[in-house]
Amino acid sequence: MNDIVKLGGILLLFSAIAGGALSVVNAITKPRIELQKKLVLERALTTALPMANKDAIVPVEQDNMLYYKGYKTPDKQDLVGYAFVASGKGYSSTIETMVGVDTTFTITGLSILQQVETPGLGTKIEEVRYGESTPWFQDQFVDKTWNGLAVDKDGGNITSITGATISSRAVTKSIHDGLKQLEATVRQHHSDM
């Protein structure tokens, strides 16, 4: 019995030391990790809304839709566009895309937030070709509106990735649907005002 207490004590001691050490490391890294998380979102938003000031993008929730409003200057007076997250089911995951549009609902930029598609196939939605600096698949969307937005196989204007039509379609369709909804929501809101 005594033995168990003693052994338990030693184990507890070690665990306590470990816990202590970890809480110190945690305290040091925590801000950094949170910063990283923020940076990811921030980077996505600035890619989506290149013309907006990075400190002047604010989240809005309306009619069950979460989107962002982007302003040109930090005083948030001159609205330049909106951003939202489109999500659609791809081949093996749900693909989430941050999409930015200007006030005429023409796409200004986008970036993939989340996808676990097949490497080499579905992941080509993020492929940056050698010698280029931006992903070619996503670049196609810029300057387009939801109208007619579809992959070529469905008769649309987006060249799909060979062998990954499902992923291409998921991105395209989710943006198409999301954009349509955003426009409706925003216009409704405007007319309310």
Partner 1 sequence: MSISKELFKGFYKENPVFRLALGLCPTLAVSNSVQNAVGMGAAVTFVLICSNVIVSMIRHGVPKKIRIPIYIVVIATFVTIVDLVMAGFAPALHKSLGIFVPLIVVNCIILGRAEAFAGKNNVGRSFIDGLGMGIGFTLALMALAIVRELLGDGKLWGIPVLSSGYEPVLIFILPPGAFLTLGLFLGFFNWLDIKMQK
Partner 2 sequence: MEIKALLIIAVNAIFIYNFVLSRFLGICPYIGVSKNIDSAIGMGFAVVFVMTLASMATWLIDFYLLRPTESNIFYILFNFKEPPDLMYLKTIAFILVIASLVQFVEMVIQKMSPGLYKSLGIYLPLITTNCAILGVTLINLDANYSFIASIVHGFTAGLGFTLALVLMAGIRENLDMAPVPKPLKGAPIAFIMASLMSIAFLGFSGLKIG
Partner 3 sequence: MEPKFYVSSSPHITDNESIPKIMYGVMLSLIPATAGAIYFFGIRAGWIILLSIVSAMATEGILQKLMKKSVTIKDGSAMVTGILLAFNLPAEVPWWIPVIGSVFAIGIGKIPFGGLGYNPMNPALLGRAFLLASWPTHLTIFKTIPRGGTISGIDVITNATPLNVFKIAKASILAEQVQDYDVAIRQLYDSYSNLFVGRVGGCLGETSALLLLIGALYLIYKRYISLKVPVSYILTVALLSWIFGGTEGFFSGDPLFHVLAGGLILGAFFMATDMVTSPVTAKGRIIFGIGCGVITVIIRLVGGYPEGVSYSILLMNLTVPLINRYTRPKVFGEVKRS
Ligand X SMILES: Cc1cc2nc3c(=O)[nH]c(=O)nc-3n(C[C@H](O)[C@H](O)[C@H](O)COP(=O)(O)O)c2cc1C
Binding-site ranges for partner 1 (CB under 8 A): 6-7, 10-11, 14-15, 18, 21-22, 25-26, 29, 32-33, 35-36, 40, 118-121, 130
Q: How far is the CB of 5 from partner 2 (least distance, A)?
A: 16
Nearer CB in complex with ligand X: 70/90: 90
Size of the site for partner 2 (CB under 8 A): 11
Least spacing, CB of residue 116 vs ligand X, in Å: 9
For residue 73 the two structure tokens come to 């200057």
Alpha carbon 25 to chain centroid distance? 29
In contact, 127 and 171? CB cutoff 8 Å: no
Query: Which option in partner 1, partner 3, ligand X, none does residue 150 bind, with CB closer than 5 to 8 A by kind?
Result: partner 3
Instruction: Say how far apart CA 187 and CA 184 lie, in whole Å.
Output: 5
- Cβ-based nearer residue to partner 3, 19 or 163: 163
Residues within the interface to ligand X (CB under 6 A): 91-92, 117-118, 121-122, 162-167
Buried b (16+ CB within 10 A) or exposed e, 63-97: eeeebbbbbbeeeeeeebbbbbbbbbebbeeebbb
> Footprint of partner 3 on residues 115-154 (CB under 8 A)?
121, 150, 154
Give me the count of residues in the chain: 193
Helix (DSSP H) and strand (DSSP E) numbers for the chain:
3, 5
Query: From the list partner 2, ligand X, partner 1, none, which binds 23 (C-beta under 5 to 8 Å, kind-based)?
Result: partner 2
Cα–Cα distance between 17 and 105 in angstroms, integer?
Answer: 56
Q: Residue 58 binds which entry of partner 1, partner 2, ligand X, none, with Cβ cut-offs from 5 to 8 Å by kind?
A: none
Residue 91 CA to residue 156 CA, distance in Å, equals: 20
Q: Rule CB under 8 A: is residue 26 a binding residue for partner 2?
A: yes
Structure tokens at 93: 């995951």
**Which positions touch partner 3 (CB under 8 A)?**
91, 121, 150, 154-155, 162-163, 169
**Which positions touch partner 2 (CB under 8 A)?**
15, 18-19, 22-23, 25-26, 91-92, 118, 166
